[in-house]
Amino acid sequence: MTLPRFEYRSAKTLEEACSLLADHKGKARVISGGTDLLTQMKERTATPQYLIGLQSIPGLNYVEHDKKGGLKIGGMATLIQVAESPVVKEGFPLLSEAIMHMASVQVRNRGTLVGNLCNAAPSADTAPPLIVMGAQARLVSAGGKERVIALEDFFRGPGETALGQGELLAEVVVPDLPPTSGGTYLKLSQRRAMDLAVVGVACLLTRDGGVCKEVKIALGAVAPTPIRAREAEALITGSGLEDAVLAKAAEAAMEASKPITDIRGPADYRRKMVGVLTKRAVRQAWERASAGE
C-alpha cells in the first residue's frame, strides 16, 4: 500500500519544528523514526499534509545521567540506544527490559522512545515502566516556551496526548530510583516481543526490611490510557506482602482496569490476567528489591 501525498519539511532546530507545527495548524505531524506514523499513513488512519522531520536537528539523540537531574532521554534517542545504554541497564533496568520485550529488532533500531510515547497507544510498552518510575515529560513550543508534566498526565486517550498546538515532547526525565527498590514489567502477548500487549503490568517497589515502604503499579492495554492501580498500591504499602494482601491488591487492580474486547482478547480474560500479572509483578519486584537489584 502506498503512502498518501504529503510535503516534507526538514527542521534544523526545535524552535523551527514547533513553528512549522503551529503554522500548519493540525495538518502536520512530526516524524522521527516513523515506525508508527508511516504505517498509519499507509492504512489511511493518519493523513497529514505535512511531515516535519527532526533528523536534521543536532543533539537530540542523547541518553544521559547526572546525580542532580537523573536520567535524561532526548527526543531522537532510539529504543535500542536507550535499552543498551550502560546507564539505563545499571540504574534503570526496568526500562531496558521492557524495551527488549517490545517490537522487532528493526523497529527497536529505528523507532524512538519519545515517538512510542507520542503515538499514545494504550498498549505502549514503554509507558507503564516510565510511569512507575516517576518520569516527567519536557514539552517545548515556539518562542522558547517549555513546561514539564508528569508522564502519567501526558496521555489523554488512544492516540491523544497533552501536547498543545505547535508543541513537542523534547525530553523524558526519570529521577534516580531508591537504593532499596526493585521493579519489573510483565507483558502478556502471543509472542514474546513482536506482538502488542494484551495486558501489561509494571511495578516498582521499595522495601524497608520486611515491609513494603512504597509501591507503584501501572497497567497497560486495559484502559484508554496507561493507568495507575492506586487502590492496589494502597493495600500493599506498609504490608509484608502477605498472600491475603496480595490477593486483595490483585482484585483492586482488576477493578481499576477497563479493558475492551478486540482481536487480541476478550475483556473478561484481560481483566483476569490483570490480577494474575499484578501478583507476579509485585512478587518479582519485592524479590528484586530484596536482592538489591
Cβ neighbours around 138 below 10 Å, total: 17
E strands along 69-220, which residues? Answer: 70-74, 136-141, 145-150, 155-157, 160-161, 167-174, 181-188, 199-208, 211-220
Q: pLDDT tens-digit profile of 230-282?
A: 999 999 999 999 999 999 999 999 999 999 999 888 999 999 999 999 999 99
pLDDT at 193: 58
Average pLDDT value for residue range 150-161: 96
pLDDT at 292: 56
- Reported pTM: 0.94
pLDDT at 109: 92
Place of cell 517497589: 205
AA identity, residue 232: A
Q: How far is CA 140 from the centre of its chain?
A: 19
Find the length of the chain: 293
Q: Is 169 a residue whose pLDDT tops 90?
A: yes
pLDDT at 194: 65
pLDDT at 59: 93
pLDDT at 291: 64
- Per-residue pLDDT band at 293 (split at 50, 70, 90): very low
| Percentage of the chain modeled with pLDDT above 70 | 98
Distance from C-alpha of 37 to C-alpha of 45, rounded to nearest angstrom: 9
Q: pLDDT tens-digit profile of 110-145?
A: 999 999 999 999 999 999 999 999 999 999 998 889
Q: What structural domains and CATH numbers belong to the chain?
A: 7-53 (3.30.43.10), 63-174 (3.30.465.10), 181-290 (3.30.390.50)
Can you say whether the dihedral through the CA atoms of 147, 133, 89, 83 is positive or negative? negative
Place of cell 473478561: 268
Average pLDDT value for residue range 84-100: 96
pLDDT at 25: 85
Distance from C-alpha of 41 to C-alpha of 2, rounded to nearest angstrom: 9
Q: pLDDT tens-digit profile of 193-212?
A: 567 899 999 999 999 999 99
pLDDT at 260: 93
Distance from C-alpha of 73 to C-alpha of 169, rounded to nearest angstrom: 11
Distance from C-alpha of 37 to C-alpha of 153, rounded to nearest angstrom: 22
Average pLDDT value for residue range 54-70: 93
Distance from C-alpha of 153 to C-alpha of 127, rounded to nearest angstrom: 11
User: Quick one: residue 4, left, alpha or beta (phi over 0 = left, psi -120 to 50 = alpha)?
Assistant: beta
pLDDT at 284: 97
